[in-house]
Amino acid sequence: MTACSTAPTNSATSAQPAAGSPLQWHARPSKSDTLPFEGAWSVQAIQELLDKPFMDLMFQAQSVHREHWPGGDIELATLLSVKTGGCPENCGYCPQAAEFDTGVKAEKLMSVDEVTRAAQAAKDAGATRFCMGAAWRAPKDRDIEKMNELIGAVKGLGMQTCATLGMLQPHQAQSLREAGLDYYNHNLDTAPEYYQDVVSTRQYQDRLDTLKAVRSAGISVCCGGIIGMGEAPVHRAGLIAQLANLNPHPESVPINSLVRVPGTPLADSEPVDPLDFVRVIAVARITMPTARVRLSAGRQQLGDAVQALCFMAGANSIFYGDKLLVTGNPDVEADTTLLRKLGLSGTRTSVQE
């Protein structure tokens, strides 16, 4: 299958391949394979989208969004660090890496009661999805057994469950699925050619292998990346190409703006231009029309006006609560006020078929 060589035009339906193409958005491939394939989006096509006049890009993204999603619907998800610090990876953005002096102390896995109380509080505040993060490179089977207890407790509250635990083996993914896990988060972070500038303790293929194991187990995929790690514009296009050409693309796509934590190698990175961040959101929406595109880390530094532009560009999910793992996040009252001002509803609604 040949990848696109030009960007789509800015009509509402132009995010889809031309009629007769082997890949159609409404007849997506089997979920059994998550390795990248030569599909609808080349890096060049995505770069051309990123370079479009801002208003044209926003119009195209909003048109695609309205075609696939109900107006005003924003998913509220809460992220809790259930096992903090001490990670042996050296991801340049992460304050939980053991080799960086960031003031984050290693802690043990939280108890079922502690996690259940946190999940209930998140549900009471309006969240519908509860994500649990643990700072492991790759969990051991005994860790998976403990996580399964936490997943069961959160499912018992009637919430969707998500976990981000590091690299998984196929049998571990299957165990999580049997425990009731709905989503697994495993971000690609950046483009393949820039990845080793960010982390050297694992390979890009390791990430793809975990995504394949998750998809094969029947768990929905949550996978995105981080903007502002010193990458060039072509690397942003490369990240989106990797995500959009997963077979199928992720159900959830978190887009993070780097939180520059003192003590991490990327602490002195140049801040992202806010409109460039909005462009990435818009192109994620165009290329992955049925995904939940989530505003994730870095929302505090964006401010209300830029977040509003992101929602206009097609973002329809946020991490909700005053902390994301170990970094700050807008508090619930601030988010509730912003959504009310914009006429958006913090409820979970299914994708339109």
What is the full per-residue pLDDT of the chain (353 aa) written as tens digits? 333 333 333 333 333 333 333 222 222 333 333 333 445 789 999 999 999 999 999 999 999 999 999 878 888 888 899 998 888 888 888 888 877 877 788 889 999 999 999 999 888 888 889 999 998 999 999 999 999 999 999 999 999 999 999 999 999 999 999 999 999 999 999 999 999 999 999 999 999 999 999 999 999 999 999 999 999 999 999 999 999 999 899 999 999 999 888 888 888 899 999 999 999 999 999 999 999 999 988 887 888 999 999 999 999 998 876 544 444 455 777 888 888 888 887 654 333 32
Q: Tell me what pLDDT residue 347 has.
A: 58
Q: Tell me what pLDDT residue 39 has.
A: 56
**Within 13 Å, how many C-alpha atoms sit on residue 120's CB side?**
8
3-class DSSP state of 11: coil
Residues 6+ apart with CB under 8 A from 302: 257, 274, 277, 295, 310
Q: Tell me what pLDDT residue 228 has.
A: 93
- Residues forming the active site: 87, 91, 94, 131, 162, 222, 294
Q: Tell me what pLDDT residue 266 has.
A: 87
Placement of tokens 């709905």 in the chain: 182
259 touches 327 (CB < 8 A):
yes
Q: Tell me what pLDDT residue 325 has.
A: 47
Q: What is the pTM of this model?
A: 0.82
Residue 171: both structure tokens together: 């049998």
Distances (CA, A) of 219 to 74, 145, 254, 331: 22, 17, 17, 30
64 touches 289 (CB < 8 A):
yes
Residue 343: both structure tokens together: 């006429």
Residues 6+ apart with CB under 8 A from 104: 84, 85, 95, 96, 326
Q: Tell me what pLDDT residue 117 has.
A: 92
**Alpha-carbon distance 129 to 262, whole Å?**
30
* Nearest Cα residue to 179 out of 204, 144, 133: 144
- DSSP calls for 146-178: HHHHHHHHHHTTT-EEEEE-S---HHHHHHHHH
* Nearest Cα residue to 58 out of 289, 236, 296, 279: 279
* Nearest Cα residue to 42 out of 204, 191, 229: 191
34 touches 80 (CB < 8 A):
no
* Nearest Cα residue to 346 out of 299, 313, 311, 298: 311
Tell me which amino acid residue 293 is.
V
Residue 153: both structure tokens together: 């407790």
Long-range Cβ contacts of 23-28 (<8 Å, 24+ apart): 25/289, 25/290, 28/248
Strand pairing partners for 318? 76, 295
5 touches 44 (CB < 8 A):
yes
228 touches 258 (CB < 8 A):
yes
**Alpha-carbon distance 158 to 120, whole Å?**
10
